[in-house]
Amino acid sequence: MLKLYFWPVPIFLASAHDEFEMLDFNADWVHVRISGLSRGWIWRSSLEMPGSVPDVDMQTSGPPVPTAADLFHVSREETAPFPGDWAPLRGKSVKIISVQKMDDGAKDAGPEVKLEFAKALLDKSYAELAKPPQALAGVVLIFDSVDGGMIAATLASLEQWKAGALSDAALWHQCFFDPPETFDSSSSSASQ
């Protein structure tokens, strides 16, 4: 049996005949997708690698660094009135996306990883919100955990960001963060 890791904890035992989609690799590890959002790492020495995969690492070697997609998943989506008191969205209908950690016992990965996951969700949500009719005023991401928090963005800000008129940093300055310190004080001055 092979062990699949959600670094550093084994999360799945694979049999010798299981096949997985390879997402990434380094000298010691192979990052694989089990199904859907389920991902993990397997010791490279435990696998039979395809001939097209080089024996040496194309990137820097070292322990696997979990990505935002490895740490979080969307648990629920709904449309409802904005659940806060931020003037740009107060009383307006928004898309609310609840996000949970893949492993509730895992240590907080820090604000940068949360923002990376939030950016991917905002990008995906904008594509859905931009389709007519535009009945929603924005998107709210709720990180559902002890160290969680909320990020809200207006549709207008997302439009400017997607058009290239706002950088990622400028987008964060136009968003609402609650509590601001959860997402790093340098990127949440617009929450005031």
Q: How far is Cα 97 from Cα 122, in angstroms, rounded to an integer?
A: 10
pLDDT, position 68: 66
pLDDT, position 42: 76
CB-based contacts of 156: which residues, under 8 Å, 6+ apart? none
pLDDT, position 14: 73
Q: How far is Cα 189 from Cα 173, in angstroms, rounded to an integer?
A: 6
Per the CB < 8 A criterion, the answer to whether 33 and 20 are in contact is yes
pLDDT lower than 50: segments of the chain: 57-58, 60-61, 185-192
Q: How far is Cα 65 from Cα 6, in angstroms, rounded to an integer?
A: 10
Torsional sign, CA 163, 166, 169, 175: negative
pTM of this structure: 0.60
Residue 171, H or E segment: helix 168-174
pLDDT, position 55: 64
Full DSSP string of 85-148: --TTTTT-EEEEEEEEESSTTSPP--HHHHHHHHHHHHHHHHHHHTSSS----EEEEEE-STT-
Domain limits, the chain: 2-62, 69-191
- Please state whether beta strands 93-101 and 72-81 pair in parallel, antiparallel, or not at all (unpaired): antiparallel
pLDDT tens per residue across span 26-49: 777 777 777 766 677 777 777 777
